[in-house]
Amino acid sequence: AVIGCDAAAQAVSAAVAHARELGVRINVAVADSGGNLAAFLRMPGAFVQSIDIAIDKAYTAAGFGFPTGDWMKVVGHDEGMKLGFSARPRLVVFGGGLPIRIDGVLIGGVGVSGASEEQDEACARAALAVIGAEVTQDNKQG
């Protein structure tokens, strides 16, 4: 199952709306469960480099199914895995990417970049909330 077109559009718009409330400028992407880009939105003035970071956070979260902010928790005990996964192209090992699950099924990922790690992830949670995706307690704590 992949996320639908309307849901993906709503998700990125909700992330932008939340960024406006926070007074920050972000780029936000949604990837489908195949890792392909499903939706994207950029606020003018957001960091140019954050475009690809947002897309890659969505790609990473959609592929592995856990928040990108959890990577150090998952591999941090092992120096080789820590350095090795950090260096993989398009794999982002810091916060701002969350998996999208509906009724327990992974249908994609959302990635936000442009503000602080906490603000990016708050915008990503706003994207999940508007489409009724699961926001786990773990995600809430960033």
- Half-sphere exposure in the Cβ direction for 129 (13 Å, CA): 12
Q: Which of 11, 24, 32, 99 binds a copy of itself (CB under 8 A)?
A: 32
**Binding flags for a copy of itself, 33-52, as an x/- string (CB under 8 A):** -xxxxxxxxxxx--xxx-xx
CA distances from 17 to 13, 31, 107, 124 (A): 6, 19, 23, 11
Query: What is the rounded distance in angstroms from the CA atom of residue 134 to the CA atom of residue 44?
Result: 29
Does the protein bind a copy of itself through residue 72 (CB under 8 A)?
A: yes
In the numeric block, the tokens 């954050």 are attached to: 50
* DSSP string computed for 41-66: EE-TTS-TTHHHHHHHHHHHHHHH-S
Q: Which range touches a copy of itself (CB under 8 A), out of 10-18, 121-129, 130-138?
A: 10-18
Q: Which of 74, 116, 76 is nearest to 96 (CA)?
A: 116
Crossing angle of helices 5-22 and 117-130, rounded to 10°: 140
Closer residue to a copy of itself (CB): 59 or 125: 59
87 near a copy of itself, judged by CB under 8 A: yes
Segment near a copy of itself (CB under 8 A); pick from 66-74, 125-133, 134-142? 66-74
Which of 23, 79, 137, 141 is the binder for a copy of itself (CB under 8 A)? Answer: 79
CB of 50 to a copy of itself, least distance (A): 8
Q: Please report, as ranges, the residues that interact with a copy of itself according to CB under 8 A.
A: 2-5, 8-9, 12-13, 16, 29, 32, 34-44, 47-49, 51-53, 59-60, 63-64, 69, 71-72, 76, 78-95, 117
